[in-house]
Each structure stands twice: as structure tokens, then as C-alpha cells.
Amino acid sequence: MTDQSLETTVGDSGGAPPDLDAPALYDNRELSWLDFNDRVLQLAEDPGVPLLERLKFTAIFTSNLDEYFMIRVAGLHDQVDAGLNDRGRDGRRPTEAIDAIRERALGLLARQAACLGHLRPALEEHGIRIVSVDDLDEAQRADVQARFRRQIFPVLTPLAVGLGRPFPYISNLSLSLAVLVRDPVTQTVLFARVKVPKEMLPRFVTVGDASGDEATFVPLEEVIAANLDALFPGMEILEHGYFRVTRDADFEVSDEADDLLRAVEAELRRRRFGEVVRVEVDARMPIPLRDELTAALGVEDRQVYVDDGLLDCNDLWQIVKVPGFPELRDKPFVSVTQPRLQGEDGARGDIFAAMRQGDVLVHHPYDSFSTSVERFVEQAVADPDVLAIKQTVYRTSDDSPLVPALVAATERGKQAVALVELKARFDERANITWARKLEEAGVHVVYGHPALKTHAKCVLVVRREGDGVRHYIHVGTGNYHATTARLYTDFGLFTCDPQIAADVADMFNFLTGFARPRRYRKVLVAPAHMREGILREIERTIAAHERGEHARIVMKMNALVDKRCIRGLYEASMAGVQVDLNIRGVCCLVPGVPGVSETINVTSVVGRFLEHSRIFAFERGEDRTVYIGSADMMPRNLDTRVELLTPIEDPALKADVMDAVERCLVDDVNRWTLGSDSTWTRVAPDPANPEPRSVHREMMLGHTSRAAETQQG
């Protein structure tokens, strides 16, 4: 949409105030998300990215798209099925959004297939071959055939469809072969399905022994296809093809659920039988076979996605992780210990002592998660003066010592409390397992309220000191997950500020009991106070600008969707306030609209690390208010989740947070800018600069240098 058409849509030339409810001012959330995954795909297409990293981004693109269809697209189909076809705030009806998504997604899938078509020969030049059975030599084919008989054939179950044999249930995200066979005696043609057993076997069959300089892989489904005669002896194989089904995987737990654990377990069982949302079909599948398959699945034509490339590229992680080939990867980076947390002569520092001297800020993955957050909890468990440890658990990893530390704390006679969020999407089963282990060990496990997700990232340690107690707090922007802490950029604040500590303690009491704090002292907590707190900060910034003071709003988040927050930013721009937004994913705000958002700049950084930190900064004159925390500006975060933002008050720590954001705003390696036509454009490096600006490279170098200087000093 041009600036002129935007002008006529949101207002007129007669001086009437702009209509801030105009659909042109709100991009479609689902299409904006596809724009984000487009940026991921562009990294897979980028010849400047190492080859195995490009293959990694190809896998991430598929994983992202799978979840998108299971949740977001499934939700649109649910609306249509329920007869809810009202226009959204962007003017589209759900059925129109589905069609727009299909058109955009097909284009992305075609690009992904072309990208993989370029990557395969490029990888082959370096010794990594992804080939079909027909490309193998005689010895290799014999090796694969022997492996088929020994490992693959025993776990295959062909399911025929016919009289007394209904069409089999196809599980979510399973890869399958559709096969047409003919009985040479009766001439009867039958349809059969063979599931590719990826749960039990690797997706790619390794030919020979993969070494550090050579590896050959054959897709498992192609090995099965080459041996269909063994599955259907005495039958004539007419046709075969590959397909994959995506089902609705979203669910809601009733607010009235008496037993949240049982309610979530019941919904997880139902998830397997969700409605079919998408059917991916290999382009080589004969059309009659495709028609029979889609008719049996009962899907519309617009739910069928014909793909020229490899189905389920998420499994390419197997090849990405093959040992060796350092020249095809990013140079490894080792996180460093935050200087304030370093002990003498390499010993582990006393985190509590460091916190008593002043707040400590860590920035993962540049600062080590294990020597900061994990060390914090480990020290609390070992300290005889610690009375209680309370922690939120949204997502965690099997190798993280944090949750087992709560068990150890209980065994040492401390009070240990875990607020386990059972409804963390796709981590429900893992969290149920953790919750049961914790309960069996005597940890106080609280599941929260059925209507709310506990998304806040907090650890509270209560320590006896003198004749009283002191609270030690960690508030983060990311999950307590050791693996993602090496891949996601997140901030964490360690503080024993009495007011912040009291606020966090009140939040825990709200979640574990029946307390409902009317107000918090310093932090912003959703669902009760966060949106209003952010809007108040915006209003104060507008007022500062109107007084002639310097005024600027800087926000960094994963998604900006909430209409009231978007309106607040529009109002700030209309008043003349400079607004700089760094948004990794979905952005429903439209920048650069004359008279509405002319002073708003929107950028996105997608690169080596996943930008995950949420930062909200408001500059007014000489004053700067900075919050970090768990919340994005989305209705779900602000209305149906427990979220927490904490202020950063130490001037040096504020400067560190803002330095990271400002580097994101000038990155010219992996930054995109959003235009008033809702299109994202990748920023090209400035040829005048001898070194392109990469926030991830600069932060790695900066933290490594700072740690080295501390050790030398």
C-alpha cells in the first residue's frame, strides 16, 4: 500500500485526526509471522553463511512452519468451522487469511526446495552427500540392502485399505508412503500406507561409516520405497509417493478444571487426534494416487501442499550434527563467566557476596549460564543459611541441574517450591514428568491457575542473615533451559533490592496461594498491571517531549501484536516522539505512515543466535527508565499469562542493556527493516565501513575481551 493510499485510508486531507482503528494500520499477525520465517529462509539461502549453518536454517524453517500450521492456521480453520468469519482488525476474514497464507507458504516452500537443491551439490564438494538409492554404487547398495533387512524391515507395518479395513489413522507430523498395489490373481487394486518409522530409526540412513571428512546419507523413505516388494510379496507395485500430515495440536484447558494435571494429560491424548490442517505431498506422487489420498483424509484442496523438495526438512538436523567438518560451521564460541562472578585463581565466585555489593547483569549466551544462573541455585542449595528456594519452570532441559537442585534442597531440609507451567506448548509432557519427580521428592509443586500460564522467569532465594532474612532474586528474559541459553540471547538480573525482592515474593504468593496484590512497588506484573504500566511510561514520554525535553522510546521484543500498545506508540509518534523498535518476529504495527507513525522505525535481527530478550526503555530528558523481563506485547502475554518486567536501576547496567539494543539497531549483517507497505528489506553492509556491523559478532568479541582483561587484572 502506498503512502498516498494509506493517507486516504487512515484520515483525510481536511485535517481530521487519523482513524487509529483503520485496518491499514494493523498488519495481519499470521502473514507477519510468515515474514519472520522468510527471514530465516533467507539465511539458508545466503551464500555468505557456512554450508552446515545454512542447512541448519533450512531445518529451523521447517520446524517453525510445522508449529505455525499446528497452532495458528489450525485456529483459523477452527474459526471457519465454527461459522466465525468476521473481519479481523486488518480487514481480512479468517477464510481470506487462510488463502493468503497458502499463497505465501507455497512460495516459501518452492524457495526452500530450490535452496536445498543448491545446498546438496555444494555439500557434496566437501564430502557430505545426500543421495537417493539409485545414486549408490554396487557395494553401497548392498550395504543399504543389508541394513534394510536387519534394521528397517522388522519395524515396518504396511496397512492396506479395503473391505473391512478402514483408512488408517495418520498421526501428526508422521512421514508416510502411499502405495497402490495390484493383486495379479484378482486384478484388484488396493491402497496401502507405510509409516516411515522415524521415532525408532534415523531419518537418513548412513552409508558406510561417516567420518570427519566424508559422509553419505540416503533418506529412509527412499530405502523403504526401493524395497516395497519385500513388504507386499506376490503383489504388483503400481505407484507410490511420500506424504506428511499436520494436525491441529492446540488445546485449551477449562478454567473450571479441578485437577490441572489430569486435565492437561487428557488434552495431550486428544492432541493426537486433532483435525487435519495440512497434507504435504511429494510432487512426484502420481495425481490419481494423490487424489485418493486426499479424499480419504477428507481435506480441501487448499489444505494440500505439493512440495518439490524433501519432505520434513526438520530431520536435516541429523546431518547438521554429523561430527567433523569445522570449515562448514560457524567458529565455535565459548561463553565466559561474568567478571563480577569470577572468583580468584579460577575458583567459582560467591554470587551472594557479589549481589550484596550491587546488582549483577548477565547476557546469555555471551555470559555463561552455568556459572551464573545454575551456580546461583547450586550455591543456594549448598548454603546452610538458605531457608527457601522458589523457582518458576516454564521450559527446562533434561541436562539442566536447576530442577534436580530443588530436590537436593528439599533433602537438605530447605523449603523448595516449583511453579511448574504444565501448559507450556509442546513441553507439556516433559513438565508433567518433572512435576511428578519433584512431588515425589517432597518439593512443593504448584501448577498455577488453569486460565493463566506462568511465563515469568524468576528464582527467589531466602537466606538467613543476622536476626532477619534477605531475599536474593534472579529475573530473566528467557527460560531456565541450559541448551537454549547457549543459542538464545537473553538478559538476567541478579539483585537483592528489597523492593524488587518484595514484589517477586508477592508474585510467588499470588501464584501459590490466594493473595492478589493491589499494586507492586517497582516491577510490572501481568495480567493485572503490565499493559497499564507500559502505557503510563509512553504517556510520560509524550509529556516530556511536549515540555521540550529529549524523548525517545526504545523497545526490543519477539512480537508486537497488542492493539492498545500499538495505539500508544502511534500516539507517541503523532506527538513527535522518536520510537525505535527491534522486533524479531511478528509486528502488527505499520511504521512510516504519514501523520501516524512517521517517527517509528522497526527493525529485526535474525542470525546466529535467536534474539529473545525483551527490553523496554523510555528516555525523558536526562532520565532513562529500562525494564527487562519475560513479556512480549501480545494480548496473550498481557491478559492470560503471569509475566514480570523488572527495572534496571544501576546506571552502568542500564548502559550495558542499551548498548546491546543500539547494536541491534545498526547491525548491517543480519538486520531487516520494515516499510510502510509492510514489507521487510534486508539491510546491506555499508561499503564505507571496513568491518560490517554484526551485533552477535561484536557481543562475542566484547565479552571475551572483557573476561580476558578481568583475568589478567
Q: HSE-up of 1 (CA within 13 Å, CB side)?
A: 21
User: Residue 661 — left, alpha, or beta (φ > 0 → left; ψ -120 to 50 → alpha)?
Assistant: alpha
Strand runs (DSSP E) across 183-324, as ranges?
189-195, 204-207, 215-219, 236-247, 276-282, 304-307
Smallest CA-to-CA distance from 189 within 199, 198, 197, 181 is with 181
Alpha helix (H) residue ranges in 485-639: 498-512, 530-546, 563-574, 635-639
Q: Angle 305-306-307 (CA atoms, 0-180°, nearest 5)?
A: 110
Hey, what amino acid is at 679? T
The DSSP bridge pattern shows strands 614-620 and 488-495 to be unpaired
Catalytic residue list: 455
Whether 570 has a binding-site annotation, put simply, is no
Whether 486 has a binding-site annotation, put simply, is no
Helix H, strand E, coil C: the string for 588-630 is CECCCCCCCCCCEEEEEECCCCEECCEEEEEEECCEEEEEEEC
What is d(CA 553, CA 538) in angstroms, rounded to the nearest whole number? 8
Sheet strands side by side (includes 204-207): 128-130, 215-219, 204-207
Whether 64 has a binding-site annotation, put simply, is yes
Smallest CA-to-CA distance from 461 within 522, 421, 409 is with 409
- Looking at the DSSP bridge assignments, the partners of residue 618 are 553, 625
Whether 395 has a binding-site annotation, put simply, is yes
Q: How many CB atoms lie within 10 A of CB 154?
A: 10
What is d(CA 341, CA 363) in angstroms, rounded to the nearest whole number? 13
If 0-12 CB within 10 Å is exposed, 13-18 middle and 19+ buried, where does residue 444 land? middle
Name the helix (H) or strand (E) containing 360. strand 360-364
Cα dihedral: 653, 658, 664, 668 (round 10): -110
* Cβ atoms 411, 441 nearer than 8 A: yes
Task: List binding-site positions for Mg(2+).
Answer: 395, 425
Annotated binding site: 64, 395, 425, 488, 584, 612
